[in-house]
Homo-oligomer: A and B are copies of this chain.
Amino acid sequence: MKPMTIGRLSSAAKVKVTTIRYYESIGLMGTPERSASGQRLYGNADVERLSFVRHARELGFSMDAIKDLIGLQTEPDQDCSAVDTIAQRQLLEVQKRLAQLEALERELKRMVENCRGGKVGGCQVMAAINDHSECESDKHERLKPL
């Protein structure tokens, strides 16, 4: 039960030191104890909580969703359906994004395959970007960062 410094927590949970302090600042991690000299001190529960956050981030959950999940975790007697709802919403998001990216892939593939070399002036890739209207998926939704 001996407390660990932020660096140990960082390597235990595989989350960067700066990120841990950031999580604290946005209320995702709660204010830890401090040593006499002011250093943050953590215990095993913090490793688990931080790992949970990391796993959830890796699954693409937003910070808000993660906050909700943590809130639910602290009330184990509540109905599980709230958790299920969050996960299902996330799955839908991922599937939507997948569909977008698949359309993009088809389009880029077509562009690259049509390239016959030569000069920029007659470049098929350039033409494809210019004359986007020919494309199957003309109406891209606003694309989130790749």
- Residues in chain A within 8 A of chain B (CB atoms): 48, 51-52, 55-60, 62, 69, 72-73, 75-84, 87-88, 90-91, 93-95, 97-98, 101-102, 104-105, 107-109, 111-112, 115, 117-123, 125-126, 129-130, 132, 140, 143-146
The 8 A-B residue pairs with the shortest CB-CB distance, nearest first, are A76-B121, A55-B132, A58-B140, A91-B108, A80-B123, A84-B115, A60-B146, A87-B125
Residues of chain B within 8 A of A104, CB atoms compared: 59-60, 94
Whether B93 and A112, one on each chain, are in contact in the complex, defined by CB atoms closer than 8 angstroms, is no
The reply to whether A115 and B94 form a contact with Cβ atoms under 8 Å apart is: no
A115 proximity list for chain B (CB < 8 A): 80, 83-84, 87
